[in-house]
Homo-oligomer: A and B are copies of this chain.
Amino acid sequence: MHPSDNETSIRQASLEDLVTGPVDGLILEERLGYALRRAQLKVFKHFDEAMREHNIRPAQFSSLVVIEGYPGVTQSSLAQTLAIDPPRVVNLVNSLEERGLAMRVRCKRDRRSHGIFLTKQGEALVDKLKELSSQSDLAATQALSEIERRQLLMLLRKIYAPAHGEG
């Protein structure tokens, strides 16, 4: 321990009672970042549970869905689409390849690029995963009506992709 560390620098002040239970966030709940984080925490928890059996992480699932929608997508394109950086894509695609769910194919025209495709196995799995994911989303948002759910998605899209959020 460094001397600069204040090893439990507790003032020995007198205090009769203090707030001991859980507490609602008050002004905090008006903060968008906080609300987003809390909601995401819950949704992701459900997602993890739903995917546990298949040992799939959120980013892996997202990748599989994009690859399915755009067979031959490049890694850089995947990075832009998912808003993650290139090094992460490498790991992501590696993990998918190792599990036999996807494969890289070198592009003839530009031999730097790899097109990514799903294997038969990958195709089969992603279909199942999409179903599980939908169920998980529903379970995590039981408190919402179908209309509210759609509304929420639209509002979120408006935030991160203002141009296309309204569609």
Contacts and interface: CB of A to CB of B under 8 A. Distances in A.
A55 interface: no
A115 B15 contact: yes
A1 to B, nearest CB: 12
Interface residues of A, number: 90
A70 to B, nearest CB: 5
A111 B140 CA distance: 39
Counted per complex, copies of this chain come to: 2
Interface in A1-46: 6, 8-44
Interface in A126-167: 130, 133, 137, 140-144, 148-149, 151-153, 155-162, 164-165
A113 interface: yes
Nearest to A94: B6
A121 to B, nearest CB: 15
B70 A30 contact: no
